[in-house]
Amino acid sequence: MSNSKKLKRVAYSPKFVFHERDDNLAFCPILHVLALAFADNTFESEWINCPEDLSTFQIPSHLQSLPLRWKDSKLETPIFRRTVSEGGRIITSPTKALQYATIANHNLRLGKSMGYPDPFRLYCLRRGAANGINSQYIIFLA
């Protein structure tokens, strides 16, 4: 996503659609992105300063969603950022994006600490999600 935000020569802005999950909010990508956006004070609207403000809006019946605009000053800020050492402290970098290799390594360590016999790669998450979706929509013919 960080590369697509920099495409200023394109006549349109890229849009990313996430679907809310009501069954288990821990797996809802919208909540995670919103939490990071509020932590970074990212929203352009002066009316949106905390999560509670979102409940004051009503989505018009002819729309399926409500677009939330980001501040111009935040467009170059990566959503997922790496940690860096600064003055003997570990902080979240304001400019450096989280790298795939870092999160992949963390995922492997997580799998080991959980006692999984096989490596817990990011692909396992994607495959598990796809299998879950497929099993939900496959019609069994008898």
pLDDT digit string (tens) for the chain, length 142 residues: 444 444 455 555 555 555 555 666 666 777 888 899 999 999 998 888 888 888 887 878 888 777 888 999 999 999 899 999 999 999 999 999 999 899 889 889 988 998 988 888 877 766 655 565 566 555 554 4
Provide the 8-state DSSP code for 69.
Answer: P
The one-letter amino acid code at 142 reads A
Grouping H, G, I as helix, E, B as strand and the rest as coil, residue 92 is strand
- Residue 97 C-beta-side C-alpha neighbours within 13 Å: 11
Total-model pTM: 0.59
